[in-house]
């Protein structure tokens, strides 16, 4: 009898121990909402970015989804996700190898190790962050950005337009009405007369609109530059209206009054009925220039788009700047951020952020926080 009792007791203890160690306990359950933005040659003109919510019961399911996110990114897409479980206490920072940078509103992480990126993504989700991840095939680097507060999953109404642009989950800004210009003779600064106005640094005028980063001057305390994290959120993450069948439409490359550049849509935006719909919305692929020449808008078209809240960042006119003639000859738009040596770029082969070469001069478009 005693032997049978001890056998039964041992079985009960084993069962309890197994339950304690079960990794598929309820605290591993979570709902993950994610959006996969397909870019490059894989994106059809009629492609629509869909937001999906999945319920995960186990840690194994969570790891499989992280693997899927990495696969999406490795194939050229940008993945944005967040969870709705209660956030766990912060763990202080990833222990894996990689480059970590933290600002007030965001944390960025870069690594060439896929497993390290998965661990970082999981940690950021545990801390209640909204995470975006992409992959650079040229360097084999995974790039992630985590934002402090997850956006609400409720869809944004397309019935009201407002010229506000989210640059984090808790901050909106408005853009200046033109690029910064400077007169080297008088020392005067001014805004360009229109959003599509650009100058050439070799023109006969004393005015220029290209600057080295260490010479930037501010037009009052209320004006500032986008940070690198804010530029990425603006272009890659924020939740917006639908334009031309594309959900969360953030931008489209275009020509306005014959000037190449980037149209950025506000969070809430209604495309004017009398203006031709754009192609290549949210397309930042390196292998296709969709929208670069296809979206060709007149001054009258732009007046309607601007009245609806759109912003246009023009490329610089073809002009000689040392060895950089070819860089600017195609009207590429390169704008300084407040982060050292980091720029927001729009051209026939890229929309996104990049590093500036030494001694380069770029345009400036100021923003102002929405009070």
pLDDT score of 296: 94
Mean pLDDT of 69-77: 87
141 and 176 co-located in one domain: no
Residue 356 has pLDDT above 90, yes or no: no
Q: Which of 112, 147, 182 is the last residue of a domain?
A: 147
Percent of the chain with pLDDT over 90: 27
pLDDT score of 288: 63
Structure-model confidence comparison of residues 312 and 34, the more confident one: 312
Domain count, the chain: 2
183 and 139 co-located in one domain: no
315 and 253 co-located in one domain: yes
CB crowding 162-181: b at 16 or more within 10 Å, else e: ebebbbbbebbbbbbebbbb
170 and 142 co-located in one domain: no
178 and 81 co-located in one domain: no
187 and 119 co-located in one domain: no
Query: How many C-beta neighbours within 10 Å does residue 79 have?
Result: 23
Of 317, 331, 313, nearest to 260 (Cα)?
A: 331
* Torsion angles phi and psi, residue 220, rounded to 5: 95, 160
Domain, as residue range, for 48: 26-147
Mean pLDDT (the chain, rounded) = 76
Q: Which of 83, 117, 147 is the last residue of a domain?
A: 147
299 and 170 co-located in one domain: yes
pLDDT score of 85: 52
338 contacts: CB under 8 Å, gap ≥ 6: 224, 225, 226, 227, 228
Q: Residue 58 falls within a domain, yes or no? A: yes
Lowest-pLDDT choice from 202-216, 337-351, 353-367: 202-216
Q: Residue 64 falls within a domain, yes or no? A: yes
Q: Residue 326 falls within a domain, yes or no? A: yes
Q: Residue 21 falls within a domain, yes or no? A: no
189 and 281 co-located in one domain: yes
What does the pLDDT look like over 77-112, one tens digit per residue? 888 888 865 333 333 344 445 444 444 456 888 899
Could you tell me the pTM of the whole model? 0.61
pLDDT score of 201: 47
């Amino acid at each position: 009898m005693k032997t049978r009792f001890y056998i039964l007791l041992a079985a009960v203890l084993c069962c309890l121990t197994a339950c304690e160690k079960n990794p598929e306990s309820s605290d591993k359950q979570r709902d993950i909402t994610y959006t996969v933005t397909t870019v490059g040659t894989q994106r059809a003109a009629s492609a629509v970015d869909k937001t999906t919510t999945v319920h995960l019961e186990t840690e194994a399911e969570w790891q499989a989804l992280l693997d899927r996110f990495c696969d999406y990114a490795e194939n050229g897409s940008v993945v944005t996700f967040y969870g709705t479980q209660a956030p766990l206490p912060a763990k202080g920072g990833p222990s894996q190898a990689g480059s970590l940078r933290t600002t007030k509103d965001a944390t960025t992480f870069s690594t060439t190790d896929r497993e390290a990126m998965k661990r970082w993504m999981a940690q950021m989700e545990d801390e209640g962050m909204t995470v975006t991840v992409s992959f650079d095939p040229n360097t084999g680097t995974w790039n992630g950005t985590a934002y402090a507060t997850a956006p609400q999953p409720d869809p944004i109404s397309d019935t009201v337009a407002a010229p506000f642009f989210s640059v984090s989950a808790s901050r909106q800004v408005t853009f200046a009405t033109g690029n910064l210009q400077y007169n080297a003779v008088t020392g005067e600064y001014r805004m360009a007369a229109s959003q599509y106005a650009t100058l050439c640094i070799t023109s006969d005028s004393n005015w220029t609109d290209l600057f080295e980063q260490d010479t930037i001057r501010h037009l009052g305390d209320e004006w500032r530059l986008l940070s690198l994290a804010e530029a990425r959120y603006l272009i890659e993450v924020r939740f917006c209206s639908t334009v031309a069948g594309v959900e969360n439409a953030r931008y489209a490359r275009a020509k306005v009054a014959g000037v190449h550049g980037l149209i950025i849509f506000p969070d809430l935006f209604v495309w004017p009925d009398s203006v031709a719909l754009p192609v290549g919305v949210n397309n930042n692929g390196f292998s296709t220039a969709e929208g670069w020449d296809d979206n060709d808008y007149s001054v009258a078209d732009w007046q309607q788009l601007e009245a609806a809240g759109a912003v246009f960042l023009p490329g610089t006119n073809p002009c000689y700047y040392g060895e950089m003639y070819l860089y600017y000859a195609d009207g590429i738009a390169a704008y300084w951020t407040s982060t050292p040596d980091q720029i927001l770029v729009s051209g026939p082969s890229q929309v996104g952020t990049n590093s500036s070469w030494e001694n380069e001069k770029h345009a400036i478009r100021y923003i102002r926080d929405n009070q």
